[in-house]
Chain A
Amino acid sequence: MKIMIVDDSSTMRRILKNCLTKMNYENIVEAGDGLEAQLVLEQNKDVELALVDWNMPNMTGYELLQVMKGNDEYKNIKVIMVTTESEKTNVVMAIKAGASNYVIKPFTPEIIAEKITATLNK
């Protein structure tokens, strides 16, 4: 399964990649913001899951989520928001926009694993 990580922090992308590798997911593509993520998606039509940060330059994760869910090619990709945005209104906004799950930073590898498994089993 191909998984896309979208976060402007290379540190956070490496942390998430480490978590995914431990879960035996090794087919991973990365982007540093929402705009770059759209280019990555164009070149990787087989992405099935995206882990997306909220606050990023150029295009936020929430804007990317809206673009993905409004596009027939990408709307079936499951999206987990991985963000420090923990206010209830933001969580509700993301879920309404089509996010499958929500992880609040900081997180443990166990939480990421649990949310990914739950999302893929939905």
Chain B
Amino acid sequence: MEKPTVDVNLINPFVKSVLNVFKTMVQMDLKRTSLTIKTSGKAFGEIFAIIGLAGSGSGNVVLCFPAELASQSVARMLGCDVSTLSRMDIKDGVGEIANMVVGSAKSEFSGTQYSFNISLPTVIEAESNSLEIDQKSDIPCLVVGFESNTGHKFVLEVSLKSNLMR
């Protein structure tokens, strides 16, 4: 079977958006550390925010947080202490970060063969690095690693294909 190809430039609006959302809302500087194509089903981290994409372009975006970075990020957005946050607060906050990341990137695909609408975020928790997220085999999944100025790692997974005939 022919291997699906991927245009790595598709990742750029999402990367730009991650950096902007963290800088503006979380007051945290991230730097991009890696870019790979996903080969195993396992996702990095413990808290995952998933947003589906549907339209001329389709796929999904997953933001993968280690638990500590998730709680730190939400506390910074709310201007409160981590100890005051409930699990629900953290899950809601991570979902809103994902919503802003994907929503901001969305406009850059407007009018292209990849334009899409986004679903509401779904946030799930799992044991460290144990969650299997099966991406559709016909859509390559790009995995971007980031590191925060507090030394935490964070991963963004993007699967996006065009449904339009070229």
A and B pair up: yes
Across the interface, A15 reaches (CB within 8 A) one of B78, B102, B107, B120, namely B78
Separation of A107 and B110 alpha carbons in the complex (Å): 21
Chain B interface residues toward A at CB < 8 A: 20-21, 24-25, 74, 77-79, 88-89, 92-93, 95-96, 99-100, 102-104, 106-107, 110, 118, 120
Q: Name the residue among A10, A84, A107 with the largest chain B CB count within 10 angstroms.
A: A84
Q: Quick one: given A11-B77, A87-B110, are A108 and B99 in contact (CB under 8 Å)?
A: no
Chain A interface residues toward B at CB < 8 A: 8-12, 14-15, 18, 55-57, 83-87, 104-108
State whether B79 touches A18 (Cβ < 8 A): yes
Instruction: Identify 6 new A-B residue pairs, CB closer than 8 A, beyond the known A11-B96, A83-B103.
Output: A8-B120, A9-B99, A15-B78, A55-B103, A84-B102, A106-B24
**22 interchain pairs (CB within 8 A)?**
A8-B120, A9-B95, A9-B96, A10-B88, A10-B89, A11-B78, A11-B92, A11-B96, A12-B96, A14-B78, A18-B79, A55-B99, A55-B120, A84-B102, A86-B103, A87-B106, A87-B110, A104-B104, A105-B25, A105-B99, A106-B25, A106-B104
Q: Quick one: given A11-B77, A12-B96, A106-B25, are A87 and B107 in contact (CB under 8 Å)?
A: yes
The majority secondary structure among interface residues of chain B is: helix
State whether B107 touches A107 (Cβ < 8 A): no
Separation of A11 and B93 alpha carbons in the complex (Å): 5
Separation of A84 and B95 alpha carbons in the complex (Å): 13
